Amino acid sequence: MKKTLLKTIYNLGGFAPFRWATRGKVLILMYHRFSRGSDPYKISGDAFAAHLEYLAKRNTILPLPEAVECLKNGKPAPPNAAVITIDDGYADAYETAFPILKKYGMPATVYAVTDFIDGKCWLWTDLMRFVLLETKTENLCIEFADGEKIEAKLNGKTDRLKLAARINSKLKTLPDALVNEKIEEISRSLKVKIPESPAPEYAPITHEQAREMDASNVRIESHTVSHPILTNIDQTRLDDELRVSKIRLETILDRKVEHFCYPNGNLTVNVRNSVEKAGYASAVTTDYGFNDRQINHFSLNRIDAASSIEKFAQSASGFENFTRAIRN
């Protein structure tokens, strides 16, 4: 939809009928990165505050466990119930999002990667972003085992980040054991040495910050140990990623951890069943949609929170849900 038309619909209150149509369902919003200023790849603090202002007037924000309990047991949820989730556990969730959540008194859930917040690893999807932004090389040529080749001229920051996203999409299709090997190969070819710990731009929350957030109604839950694509690893590794991350967070937070987020949203029936067997009560995907009582609580839908308030309202109201249903 064109930006001007979308803005007009928003200003005229045109999304209200769609909020009414989805009032009995639970909306789970998905965020990743935040910034204090303008950044096309992150949600700015001002934009996040505008989202929460919008939600405060139109939705009832529930803690994730309460929303899951409603979906599982048929307990009536408030009309237009919504849940705020933030993936990965970056420091900007604490530095930018947390103060705004406290200001509005809204609960949220941060799904944290335990080796990341323990300072043992980068989130691997950041490695390509770091390498492409750091390299002085002007041209890139990568060939994969299946014969696919990615060639590009390395221009400005925006183009480099788009290229990193393209490479990451390809890496996500590889067996997990080959991903780091390929990243190291690319970094060598581009003459970039990757630091052992994430650069400040890619840093995680600390244990102290995690405990502070968790004590202030921004719960920390599990997003695996090392953020692998779970459909690309064997059963032993899968069970370890689920079990060890749960135990580690329970040690850090001194409470039971019961909720899970699939890295990249990838799952199979076996992965979903393994999450349930590991002792979790729910798991969220990246699949688009609202949630009703018929939803499998280990395959919960989420809606990506767009930055602009008009696009955010389009998704959060159910308007986009309606147009997708028509197209399908």
| Per-residue pLDDT at 10 | 85
CA 216 vs CA 49, 205, 261: distances in Å: 18, 15, 21
Position 266 pLDDT exceeds 90: yes
pLDDT > 90: percent of the chain: 87
| Per-residue pLDDT at 283 | 98
**For range 55-66, the mean pLDDT:** 97
**For range 186-214, the mean pLDDT:** 96
Contact 88, 31 (CB under 8 A): no
Position 328 pLDDT exceeds 70: no
**For range 147-175, the mean pLDDT:** 94
Position 115 pLDDT exceeds 70: yes
Give the type of residue at 223. H
DSSP symbols for 239-291: HHHHHHHHHHHHHHHTS---EEE-GGG---HHHHHHHHHTT-SEEE-S--S-B
**For range 114-129, the mean pLDDT:** 97
- How do residues 273-304 score in pLDDT, each as one tens digit? 999 999 999 999 999 999 999 999 999 999 99
Spatial separation of the C-alpha atoms in residues 59 and 316, rounded to whole Å: 9
- The 10 Å Cβ neighbour count of residue 2 is 7
Name residues whose C-beta falls within 8 Å of residue 110's C-beta, 6 or more positions apart in sequence.
85, 86, 87, 89, 93, 205, 210, 213, 218, 219, 220, 221
**For range 17-22, the mean pLDDT:** 92
Position 326 pLDDT exceeds 80: no
Position 149 pLDDT exceeds 80: yes
pLDDT-based confidence at residue 226 (cuts at 50, 70, 90): very high
| Per-residue pLDDT at 1 | 66
| pTM confidence score | 0.95
With residue 220 as reference, give the H or E element that holds it: strand 218-222
